[in-house]
Amino acid sequence: MKALKFCAAALTAICVLALASCGKDANPSTQATPSPTSPQNTAAQESSYLRPRGDLKNSLKQGEKYNYLLWAVNDVSNPFEHETEINKVGWTQRKADLESKYGITIQYVMPTPNWWQDACASAFSGNPSVDFMHCGGPFTVLPMYAYNGTAASVVLPLSDYSQSADFSDNNWWNQALQTANTTFNGKLYFAVPQSTGIGSIAFNQVVLFNKEILERNGYSAETLYSANQNGEWTWEKFREAAIACTDPDNSIYGIAPAYQNALIWSLAASNGASFVSQMNNNGTTYFEFTGNSDKMLDAWNFLVQLGRDGVLYRDQGFTADHETFLAGKTAMMPTYVNRTSQLVNAGTYPEYGVLMPPKAPGAEDYVSDVNWFDPYCAFKGTANPEGTVQLLSDYCCPLYSLDDERNEASFDAELLSLTTDQGSQWTLRNISEKSAPQSYFMFSNLTFPDGANFMNKITEQWPAFVDGQQTPGTYFDSIAESVNQLLKDAQGLK
């Protein structure tokens, strides 16, 4: 596998860039840009990096400047420096084509240390410093949506501008994630673009396994792949393999729960459980704690059984998942697909395979937790909100759609950079259809009155359960009220 490292960098290109407008500086006499008629503009309209608009209304006006905030930009004159060479060409062309086609200027804004907070504060004051932005991740969605304790105080409902912008095509925008996490009371407030190539599954949970350790203990890769493809890779088989591989005398353990206990993420999702669920009460939607449901407690109880079997590695702490796996002391690890690229980039690593998260008892199919996404929003208070939302939809979407042949070619090339193992390739080619969007990372930065972090209280208490200090049922029932109050406050609910 060492020979595969030469193209592993392709996997890291999964961040999609966006723009924003400073419409208040626009000439009030500007008019919507007419359909282009010159050869130059026609070429821009037919650019392979511009999304087709169909019959959508154009609301951009010639002469406008749109300011866009991207948290990762270090140099606003070179905003694509972190992209791969291929993607750098695409984003540069898209920016130039949009500016040429509509006669607008796309201006990147240098992020401040408190980038999203400062952007929200300026919009709340009625003088937005940016018009739309990449929001960094799920952890900003609720603080931005309920800024200053009021729902939708600074962000625009994107779905209100459907004549100029379309966020409903799953080839461009992730409908499952938008429905589960960024739609409030029937309106879309944060757009979630699809990622292309291997990026489309980068945040799916899988199980990595160390081939040498499993093989040495009677579980060949071929045996595991056969069970995996036949739908027979279950919780119990997972447990059996972990027990067989555990050798505490040599500090080798069957399962590494991974950073922040990704093990429970996969067990919960496979059993149809969620830490946090979106509720609907007469058209009003809100998130509620469901981490003490029967299905969730079944998942926790299985994890406790694994712990009492002695198969769980307990010393990871804050060590990154790939570094823990690289040490060669754990047979299996539930983690993100994108950790495979970190293994390849390391240069020297254990031969690994990739399996589905194990299937829960009675489940019909595998389920893969997806808890991370890249949201984008537009702010209230801009001079041309219709144009801002339109530009977000045209500039922040991926360089090409999921059904574009370039997407398939990119996926195939990046897949080969990670593994030539057909069993692992089968998992990675099929994991997307097993996706189950989750919401708990939207609350990951919240802090309880006692100073405890949300994720610590919700997912990382497993050693106490394994050691018998308390049971999952008793613990989660005891914190349910305080968790729901925290969620209520975060959502700006009265």
Residue 473 in any domain: the answer is yes
* Chosen domain end from 357, 390, 408: 408
At residue 463 the predicted structure's pLDDT band, cuts being 50, 70 and 90, is very high
Q: What is the mean pLDDT of residues 145-158?
A: 96
Domain identity same for 124 and 186: yes
Q: Is the pLDDT of residue 110 over 50?
A: yes
Q: Are residues 81 and 210 in the same domain?
A: no
The pLDDT of residue 9 is 37
**pLDDT at position 347, please?**
76
Nearest to 191 by CA among 33, 394, 47: 394
Of 408, 430, 458, the position where a domain reaches its end is: 408
- Residue 151 near residue 143, CB atoms below 8 Å: no
Identify whether residues 176 and 212 lie together within a single domain. Answer: no
Identify how many contiguous H helices and E strands the chain contains and give both numbers: 18, 14
Same domain, 191 and 212: no
pLDDT score for 320: 79
CATH code, domain with 131: 3.40.190.10
With a cut of 50, say whether residue 41 has pLDDT above it.
no
Asked whether residue 292 carries a pLDDT value surpassing 60, the answer given is: yes
pLDDT band at 359 (very low <50, low <70, confident <90, very high): very high
| Distances in whole angstroms, Cα of residue 485 to Cα of each of 183, 289, 479, 490, 493 | 21, 10, 10, 9, 10
Predicted local distance difference test score (pLDDT) of residue 23:
31
Q: Which residue has the higher pLDDT, 413 or 39?
A: 413
Kind plus residue range of the DSSP H or E element containing 476? helix 472-490
Q: State whether 450 and 305 are in the same domain.
A: yes
Q: Are residues 58 and 152 in the same domain?
A: yes
Instruction: Fill in the DSSP letter of residue 179.
Output: I
First to last CA, the chain: 55
For the cut 90, the answer to whether the pLDDT of residue 318 exceeds it is: no
Which pLDDT band, with edges at 50, 70 and 90, does 372 fall under?
Answer: very high
Residues facing residue 288 across a β-bridge: 277
Confidence of residue 39 (pLDDT cuts 50, 70, 90): very low
The pLDDT assigned to 167 comes to 99
pLDDT band at 344 (very low <50, low <70, confident <90, very high): confident
399 closest CA partner among 87, 173, 102, 190: 87
Residues 159 and 277 grouped into a single domain: no
Last residue of a domain, one of 408, 431, 459: 408
> If you search the block for the tokens 């010639």, which residue do you land on?
62
- Is residue 413 domain-resident? no
Q: Are residues 245 and 318 in the same domain?
A: yes
Q: Is 251 left (phi over 0), alpha (psi -120 to 50) or beta?
A: left
- Predicted confidence (pLDDT) at residue 493 exceeds the cutoff of 90: no
Task: Evaluate if residue 161 carries a pLDDT over 50.
Answer: yes
Provide mean pLDDT across the span 207-231.
Answer: 98
Residue with the larger pLDDT of the pair 59 and 328: 59
Whether residues 94 and 192 share a domain: the answer is: yes
Q: Is the pLDDT of residue 177 over 90?
A: yes
| Mean local confidence (pLDDT), 205-209 | 98
| Predicted pLDDT at 322 | 84
Instruction: Please check whether residue 168 lies inside any domain of the structure.
Output: yes
Domain count, the chain: 2
Domain assignment present for 50: yes
Q: Average pLDDT in the 138-158 region?
A: 97
Share of the chain above pLDDT 70, in %: 90
Question: In 70-224, where do the E strands start and end?
Answer: 105-109, 132-134, 183-184, 187-188, 205-210
- The neighbouring-strand residues paired with 378 are 132
123 within a domain of the structure (yes/no)? yes
| 175 shares a domain with 322 | no
Residue pair 431/206 in contact by the 8 Å Cβ criterion = yes
Q: Region 319-332: what's the mean pLDDT?
A: 88
Report residue 321's pLDDT band, with 50, 70 and 90 as the boundaries. Answer: confident
- Percent residues over pLDDT 90 in the chain: 82
Query: Distance between CA atoms of 461 and 489, rounded to whole angstroms?
Result: 24
In a shared domain, residues 253 and 359: yes
Residue 48: pLDDT band with limits 50, 70, 90: confident
Mean pLDDT of 54-63: 98
Q: Are residues 359 and 381 in the same domain?
A: no
Q: Would you say residue 6 lies in a domain?
A: no
Q: Indicate whether 11 pLDDT > 50.
A: no
Cα separation, 23 vs 52, whole angstroms: 24
What integer pLDDT is reported at residue 47 of this predicted model?
A: 63
Supply the pLDDT for residue 10: 36
Range of the domain at 94: 14-197+373-408
Q: Is 289 helix (H, G, I), strand (E, B) or coil?
A: strand
What does the pLDDT read at residue 4? Answer: 39
Q: Would the pTM of this model clear 0.75, i.e. be above it?
A: yes
CA distance 135 to 140: 6
Would 382 be classed as within a structural domain?
Answer: yes
Is residue 428 situated within a structural domain? Answer: no
According to DSSP, the β-strands at 205-210 and 330-336 are: antiparallel
Chain mean pLDDT for the chain = 90
